[in-house]
Amino acid sequence: MYRFLYTEQLNEKATEFETKSLLYLLSMREDSHEIKVFIIDCFNDVTGATENCNKLWDVQSKNIKTLRPLTIGESLITLFENYISQINFDFYILFFPKLNDIYLRIII
């Protein structure tokens, strides 16, 4: 059984980024043609599924102007909670604006 623990009130910024993540699933992935069903604000912000729901794409979207490591971690916790749930998602996707370069470390 999947238990809903959190809900969120929609706001314009969140709605905009959820729409962008929906468009990402619809057309920007190599496997977009497999996605026939979209589940909005249920398991996560956007969930894509095949027609018979035997394959699931779990998307957590964040439209935060000051995206910091703490905020990224909180979003990853949401994805992890879905990972350990009884529902078998095939993909876990964190969709957010470009990170500030100070948070990126390039190892050569």
Is 2 part of a structural domain of the chain?
no
What is the residue-level pLDDT of the chain in tens, covering all 108 positions?
556 555 555 566 667 778 888 899 999 999 999 999 998 877 667 899 999 999 999 998 877 777 778 888 888 888 899 899 999 999 999 888 777 777 777 666
Domain coverage including residue 48 = 12-103
Domain count, the chain: 1
Is 81 part of a structural domain of the chain?
yes
How far apart are the C-alpha atoms of 19 and 16, rounded to whole Å? 5
Q: What is the DSSP secondary structure assignment for residue 35, as one 8-state letter?
A: -
How far apart are the C-alpha atoms of 70 and 10, rounded to whole Å? 21
Is 84 part of a structural domain of the chain?
yes
Is 50 part of a structural domain of the chain?
yes
Is 79 part of a structural domain of the chain?
yes
Is 3 part of a structural domain of the chain?
no
